[in-house]
Amino acid sequence: ASRARDQAATGGDDARRELDRLRRRVAEREEAKSQAGPAPEVNVLTAELEALKRKVTEATEKAGAAERSMKSLEAELELARTEARQAKAEAERAKAAPAAEAPPGDDATVVAKVPGELRDMAQQVYESINDILSELRNNILLVQGELGNAGGGNEESLRIITDAVDSVVGNAEDAKGALRGLRELAES
């Protein structure tokens, strides 16, 4: 009986030592896990999420800037068209006015003087409007190039903006064509 008691006491001591050893290993592993922080995959995914959020914010800002720029360009185009119409009308009035206002016997002097001034004035108007339209066209093409980078937005909105920019480019080309008519008038 005493032998069985000694074996039980020794076996119990062995079991306690094994239990203490396992508890220390569990504590060490838990401590190592808490020091390591979240898994590396979580860190990578968090970084990717933040990068995507920044890209969405940038794309939204670019789309807003592109829309504001497009509206500004449309206003400039309309102003250039109005100026071209006014210049053409003024040129036509000036061309018709010398014949009506010419003093008798002085026709040659008036015809020579007024068309020269008119030609110079029409050439200046042409160059000014042509420069404005060229800059307008270049800015529109720049906006058009950046629209693809806006991404992340509503595809329907992006398509509408792209169509509008294409239309404005076409309008700028039409205005330049009409302006060439003014140049021909100035050169004749």
In tens digits, the chain (188 residues) has pLDDT values of 667 666 666 666 777 888 888 899 988 888 877 766 666 677 888 888 898 888 888 888 887 787 887 788 878 888 888 888 888 888 887 777 655 555 554 444 444 455 677 777 777 777 877 777 777 777 777 777 766 666 666 777 777 777 777 777 777 777 777 777 777 776 76
> In the numeric block, which tokens belong to residue 21?
């050893």
For residue 15, give both structure tokens: 């079991």
Helical packing angle, 40-101 and 155-187, nearest 10°: 30
59-187 is a CATH 1.10.10 domain: no
Structure tokens at 171: 């309008």
22 is written with which tokens?
């396992």
What's the pTM? 0.35
The pLDDT, as a whole number, for residue 37 is 60
* Nearest in space to 137 (alpha carbons), one of 160, 161, 159, 165: 165
Angle at 174 between CA 178 and CA 148, to 5 degrees: 155
Domain residue limits, the chain? 59-187
